[in-house]
Structure 1
Amino acid sequence: MRFLDLAKNRYTTKNYNPDRKIPAEKIEELKEILQLSPSSINSQSWKFLFVSDENKKRELADASYWNAQRINEASHLVVFTAIDDIAKFERQIKENLPEGAVNYYNKFLKPKEEAEIKSWLQHQVYLSLGFFLSACASMEIDSTPMEGIQNEEYDRILQLDSYKTLFSVAIGYRNPEDRNQPSLNPKLRLPLEQVIQSI
């Protein structure tokens, strides 16, 4: 299928089929795809947690406001976290990245305020989100990206150390009666000429 067709058919799933789970081999493929996500200077300032344990998923659902039902129904919940320990990040890039990338960080980012550095680290994780949603669509896996969660509760439940939760994505297979799917509820987008400009 052409990517344009995938984009037209992909949507934020509201209701999942709780009886249909994503096969293990597809989950492993998604993990590898996330590992290959792009980031500035190949910084890889992230950790991704795949949650399939129903008890843990329920705990996280309880910390997810109006998103609880879709998390409980979904096959998996993927939690996207950003590194929150700058010293740890600096050790990581020194050990794993070429000198040029480390020099870029040292010259242009390290002199900034801590909050600005952490913001830059978090922006890299958002790059991986688009990559992940597209991968899911290409594999006919439905998805629901969610910022409507209690981030600090996620951190506590998952016992995160040096990382902070940014958002999560429920993945699975839609309930055929989900009213949000494009065949039942056409996508609403601003006109192309309003959002795209050719120069």
Structure 2
Amino acid sequence: MNFLDLANSRYTTKKYDSNKKVSAEKIEQLKEILRMSPSSINSQPWKFTVVSDEQVKSQLAEVSYFNEPKIKDASHLVVFSSIDDISRFEKQINDHLPEGSVGYYNQMLKPLSEAEIKSWLQNQVYLSLGFFLSACASMDIDSSPMEGIQPDEYAKILKLDGYKALFAVAIGYRNPEDANQPSLKAKFRLPLENVIESI
């Protein structure tokens, strides 16, 4: 299947088949795909927590508002977190990135306010989301990206020291009765001319 076909067929799954699990082999592939996600200056200011333990998944579901049923029935939950400690991030890039990347950070980002730097770090994590959702679609894995979580509660449950949970993605296999799937409910997108301009 080419990428356009994947874009047309993937959707945000609302109901999962709780009896179907993503294989360990595919989970390992997804972990490596997350590790290879793109980020500005190769900054990689993130942590990805892959949750399969049913008890932990249930605890997270209970602090995820209306997303609770999806999380409980999904095979896994992947939590996307950003470094929330600027000194920790600076040590990471000084230890691992080339001089040019560190120089860019020091010149362009370090003079900004703490809130602006953290916003930039969080934006990098969002870049990995599109990469991950596309990877899931290419592997015939259904997914549901969710900002409807309680970050502070996630941090407590997952012991996210120095990181802030931003959003989570439930993954697994759709329940055949999921009314949101494209075969039952046509996908809506604005017309191409409304969102694409060619110059």
- 5+ residue gaps in structure 1? none
**Who is 2:66 aligned against?**
66
In structure 1, give the amino acid aligned to 2:148: G
Instruction: Give me the whole-angstrom Cα distance separating, in 1, the residues matched to 2:168 and 2:158.
Output: 12
Looking at structure 2, the residues matched to 78 and 152 of structure 1 have their Cα atoms a distance apart, in angstroms, of 16
Question: Per-residue deviation at 1:94?
Answer: 0.5
Aligned to 2:130: 130
Counterpart amino acid of residue 90 in structure 1: E
Q: Which residue of 2 aligns with 1:153?
A: 153
Using the alignment, how far apart are the partners of 1:94 and 1:118 within structure 2?
Answer: 17
Give the alignment's TM-score, normalised by structure 1: 1.00
Q: Please give the alpha-carbon distance, in whole angstroms, between the structure 1 residues aligned to 2:175 and 2:74.
A: 10
Identity percentage over the alignment? 70
Cα distance in 2 for partners of 1:2, 1:22 equals: 22
2:133 maps to amino acid? L
Kindly provide the amino acid, as one letter, of the partner of residue 8 in structure 2: K
Counterpart position of 1:27: 27
- 1:110 Cα deviation after fit: 0.3
Q: Distance in 1 between matches of 2:106 and 2:64?
A: 37
> Partner residue of 2:80?
80
Gaps of 5+ in 2: none
Q: CA deviation at 1:113?
A: 0.3
Matched, 1:162 2:159: no
The runs of 4+ residues in structure 1 deviating greater than 2 Å are none
Q: Given residue 157 of structure 1, which amino acid in structure 2 is its aligned partner?
A: I
Matches within 5 A, 1:48-59: 48-59=48-59
Shift of 1:177: 1.2
Deviations 1:13-37 (A, max 9, x none): 0000000000000000000000000
Cα distance, 1:153 vs structure 2: 0.6
Between the aligned partners of 1:106 and 1:12, the Cα distance in structure 2 is 39
Residue in structure 2 matched with residue 11 of structure 1 by the alignment: 11
RMSD: 0.4
